[in-house]
Structure 1
Amino acid sequence: MVPEFFTQTNGRGDGEQTLAPDSSFSNLEEAEKALQELAQVFPQPHSFISGIGLDFATNEVSKAAVPPEAPLLNMEAKYRALVEQIPAVVFMAYLDQGIGEAYVSPQIETALGFSQSEWLEDPVRWYQQIHPDDKMRWSVEAAEMFLSGKPLRSSYRVMARDGRVLWFQCEAKMIRRADGSPWFIHGVGFDVTERKALEEAILEISAREQRRIAQDLHDGLGQHLTGIAFMSKVLEEKLSDKSLPEAEEAAKIVKMVNQAIENTRQLARGLHPVAAEPLGLFSALKKWASEVEGLFHIGCSFQCENPFPIHDVNLATHLYRIAQEAVNNAIRHGKSRNIVIGLSGKNGAGLLAIQDDGDGILKKQASQPGVGLSIMNYRADMVGGSLKVQANEGRGITVSCMFPIRSPE
């Protein structure tokens, strides 16, 4: 017979019980009584609970009864229990030892349908499950972590056993030995699929509303203003034919209405800058670069040797906004005189890069990123990409965004 306080059902529904200490004792006397009950159940209590070193003859803890490795094992057990309660996939892999030394928490089975042993026994399983469109980006970011030692923080799509595509926010870090050589990698992956779906839905609704407002501005207000401009021009001509002094005032009205029409067009274009077509981003960036040159009287060019289709208008719009923010920062903060916007893509991965020759990033700006940089990071994360800002060898900085090129569904 096992005391009730020390049992619990095993969770399989078959009624079988397993030993599991209940720590709901209100005082020391209750705990001692429970241990005395255990002593009656087990003829040789020391063989069962020698690990806690309790001497029933004296009711005192005996240090000699504790094995030398017990504290370490106890700490490991506590650490493992803590890790395995975290609602995320925790992993660790040694770089100088075999697969048997790797670890992944049991949440891997809940998240992706693979058991711990299945995940660890296949050394390339984790890479195979990365979404094809994200593999190259992961390879680049992982290589940067190995070479620079900087933590890896990014979002990736992972394929579950049943074919579902899940988004994981991954954070990993490489630990080095005292001599600087790589030792092991540890990290955590949070399932952010639901959050991603909600964010994408919100952004889609927002983008749809912006397109609707842009269309209304163009087809509604824009057309009304065009009609007013035409009528004002006719009135100006009639007054001019009669040599009336009011003709000059009518001409001013025509000029102001035409300016309002242009402002309306720019506002509509700002709300919906990228046309919903495969090469819409390329046309928008080329036009934006030309507008920057004319407006700020600096050099600004768009370069893309091999244009490639981007079928996702939301992806194209986010990339356009990143380029727009980077260019504005280069002019406003960096005092740049020459800016190059580059776009390239290969093997399912694209790269947007904005290079300038400005003053670069001040130490204060680097330690306290502004709102613009935070928004660019957020936009890059929303499209499954990653943003990087680095100083050029000479002057200025380069803002680059690596992103997955998704095939049309």
Structure 2
Amino acid sequence: MKLEIPADAEAVLADLASVFQAQAHDFASPEDPSEAELPNVEAKYRALLEQAEMFLSGKPLRSAYRVMARDGRVIWFHCDAKMMRHRDGRPWFIHGIAFDITDLKETERELQEERNVLSALLDTVGALVVVLDPEGRIMRFNRACETVTGYDFAEVEGRYVWDLFIRAEEAGELKTMLKYVSSTDAAKEYESQWITRDGSTRLISWSSTALPGPQGNPAYIIATGIDITERKHLEKKILEVSAREQRRIGQDLHDGLGQHLTGIAFMSKVQQQKLSEKALPEAADAAKIVRLVNEAIHKTRELARGLLPVMSDAHGLMSALQQGAAEVREVFGVDCRFQCDPPVQINDIDLGTHLYHIAQEAMNNAIRHGKARTIRVALRAAESQGELTVADDGQGMPAVMENSGMGLQIMNYRARMIGGSLEIGPAAEAGTVVQCIFPIKKLQREVAA
């Protein structure tokens, strides 16, 4: 079909010639509208079908085409064309506008290559990577997440993360954390239990940050995580072995060496009395031996108490905290009191030992760094949750809390080992409050008579 080309189209042909580095007559009156070279057969067929639809239906043609310039370059055009007809309906000419979108297509190609690289990185990296929208719906879910959870991305896309992987009682805490991440530029690090497809749980250490959108509002929340389930199990086993050995050594010191020294002290005292009755000068040496043995007994008991602060009975933690507060009063002259009303019985000696050391470190920090004059240690419990609080009236926390100190790290570590959490913050009026919230599986509460 030969189409007429109006005279005013010469300028258009000249523009086309400059793009393709050809002569204007190369574009005039083609016998076949598909004569322009296309890079592949599929594109030619697509162009023919679109042109046929324009001829038959009269609908405008809007499409993007690749054409081959004379120098071999591939040029992209976005075309918007319409068939103009005579009054009797016969085709007259095609009126259209074409935009050179080669640069746009090249940019799209580069972006697609970049997306492919990023996608490959996400799928090959060993860490879990989850991309959420600000409401908590899953937008991206890499291969490591699929391996750990047992879910494919297609199964979780667009669903709320807490509906799939988080326990109901922890969903509120996660929502609060996501709001915090959305409101700040700082990354938030935390640990959470994820429920897998088979019902098992995995402990994941997360670091989450918000990705801002064009208006500055958070567009996505990116969370990267590491499965630390096995590591935590191993750490717990090592800590249990260490605690068991400490208890054994403490008991040996108290029941073995301590009793042995007590016997020596008794025999030395008897010998001193015999020498004194005979008015022998060696009686003074015997008295000195008795004094040294008694000092050794006292030091042995202190060592045993340091290794075994919480005795293996339900009142062990309360007794240890009461004694610890008394020692602070005696040694440092600080008004330190322990409060526990009603009494709380904790049957787990490992739990009690961790809590005692957390309270001990908090009291030491209040004295050394806070210059506190008053310290209050409180132990409370509900049906399945306990709370240990150490509050002081010292100088308080600095404006920016540094968490790099070894003592604070150990306190946080102990809290995590018992499945709890540690919060350190300023008191209402002055000083610092250290609060440890911990779960209790077997808890007995006594109501004071």
Q: Is structure 2 residue 241 aligned with structure 1 residue 205?
A: yes
> In structure 1, what is the equivalent of residue 54 of structure 2?
none
SS at match of 1:360: coil
Q: Where do 1:132-151 residues align within 5 Å?
A: 151=187
Is the CA contact 1:156–1:384 (under 8 Å) kept in the aligned structure 2?
no
* Alignment correspondent of 1:225: 261
Moved more, 213-222 or 343-352: 343-352
Structure 2 counterpart of 1:370, from 396, 405, 408: 405
The reply to whether residue 86 of structure 1 matches residue 120 of structure 2 is no
* Between 229-238 and 77-86, the greater mean CA deviation after superposition: 77-86
Deviates further, 277-286 or 133-142: 133-142
Find the counterpart in structure 2 of residue 155 from structure 1: 191
In the alignment, which residue of structure 2 is the partner of 1:384?
Answer: 419
Specify the alignment match of 1:12 in structure 2: none
Partner amino acid for 1:317? Answer: T
TM-score, length-scaled by structure 2: 0.68
Match status 1:114 vs 2:151: yes
2:436 corresponds to 1:397? no
Instruction: Give the superposition deviation at 1:197.
Output: 1.4
AA in 2 matched with 1:325: E
Answer yes or no: is 1:303 the counterpart of 2:339: yes
Distance in 2, matches of 1:240 and 1:250, equals 9
Identity %: 41
User: Would the alpha carbon gap of residues 183 and 138 (structure 1) be closer, same or farther in structure 2, given more than 3 Å must change?
Assistant: same
Q: Which has the higher contact order (CA 8 A, sep 6+)?
A: 1
For residue 312 of structure 1, report the CA deviation from its aligned partner: 3.8
Moved more, 206-215 or 172-181: 172-181
Pick from 184, 188, 191 the counterpart of residue 224 of structure 2. 188
User: Taking structure 1 as reference, are residues 391 and 201 closer, same or farther at Cα in structure 2, changes over 3 Å only?
Assistant: same
More moved, 200-209 vs 155-164: 155-164
Quickly say closer, same or farther: Cα 1:119–1:286, change in 2 above 3 A.
Answer: farther
Give SS of 1:84's match: helix
CA distance in 2 between partners of 1:366 and 1:185 (Å): 25
Give the distance between the partners of 1:136 and 1:236, measured in 2 at CA.
71
Q: How does 1:245-256 map to 2 (within 5 A)?
A: 245-256=281-292
Residue 378 of structure 1 aligns with an amino acid whose one-letter code is Y
Correspondent of 1:357 among 350, 374, 393? 393
**Which amino acid counterpart does residue 91 of structure 1 have in structure 2?**
V
Offset at 1:254?
1.6
**2-side partners of 1:141 and 1:276: how far apart?**
38
Contact 2:134 2:182 in 1 (8 A): no
User: Bigger radius of gyration, 1 or 2?
Assistant: 2
Matched residue SS, 2:265: helix
**Aligned CA distance change for structure 1 residues 399 and 244 (closer, same or farther; 3 Å):** same
Which digits, 9 at most, give the CA deviation of each residue in 1:344-374, with x for residues without a partner? 34464433322112223457x9447322222
Cα deviation for residue 103 of structure 1 reads 2.9
TM score, norm. by length of structure 1: 0.74
Q: CA RMSD in A?
A: 3.7
**Greater CA deviation, 171-180 or 297-306?**
171-180
The size of the alignment, in residue pairs, is: 361
Give the equivalent residue in structure 2 for 1:214: 250
* C-alpha separation in 1, matches of 2:180 and 2:359: 23
Q: Which runs of 5+ in 1 are unaligned?
A: 1-40
Contact kept? 2:187, 2:208, Cα under 8 Å: yes
Question: SS at the partner of 1:102?
Answer: strand
Structure 2 counterparts to residues 57-76 of structure 1, below 5 A: 58=71, 64-65=101-102, 67=105, 69-76=108-115
Q: For the structure 1 residues 236 and 45, does the alpha-carbon distance in structure 2 shift closer, same or farther, using more than 3 Å as the test?
A: farther
Q: 1:75 to 1:54 in 2, by over 3 A?
A: farther
Equivalence for 1:266: 302
Aligned with 1:384: secondary structure?
Answer: coil
Matched letter for residue 286 of structure 2? A
Please state how far the C-alpha of 1:148 moved relative to its aligned partner. 7.3
Partner residue of 2:140? 103
Aligned counterpart for 1:283 among listed residues 319, 333, 342: 319
Structure 2 unaligned regions, length at least 5: 1-38, 47-63, 77-100, 444-449
Structure 2 Cα separation of the partners of residues 140 and 258 of structure 1: 58
Say if 2:383 is the partner of 1:344: no
C-alpha offsets along residues 306-357 of structure 1, whole Å, 9 cap, x if unaligned?
5555444333322221211111111122211111122334464433322112
In the alignment, is the contact (CA less than 8 A) between 1:133 and 1:348 conserved in 2?
Answer: no
Q: Which amino acid aligns with 1:264?
A: T
C-alpha deviation, 1:202, in angstroms:
1.1
- Determine the C-alpha separation between the residues in 2 that align with 1:246 and 1:233: 13
- What is the CA–CA distance in structure 1 between the aligned matches of 2:175 and 2:352, rounded to whole Å? 23
Q: Rate the CA distance shift 1:306–1:81 in 2: closer, same or farther, 3 A.
A: farther
Provide the rounded CA distance (Å) in 1 between the counterparts of 2:391 and 2:182.
25
Shift, 1:147, TM fit: 7.4
Q: Which runs of structure 2 are paired with 1:170-181 in the superposition (5 Å)?
A: 170-174=206-210
Cα 1:259–1:240 change in 2 (3 A) is same
* Contact 1:152/1:173 (<8 A) preserved: yes
Point out the more displaced range, 209-218 or 281-290: 281-290
- Larger CA deviation: 267-276 vs 190-199: 267-276
C-alpha distance in 2 between matches for 1:157 and 1:328: 33
Residue-by-residue CA offset, 1:137-188 (whole Å, 9 max, x unaligned): 6577667657777643222233322232321112223456687766543212
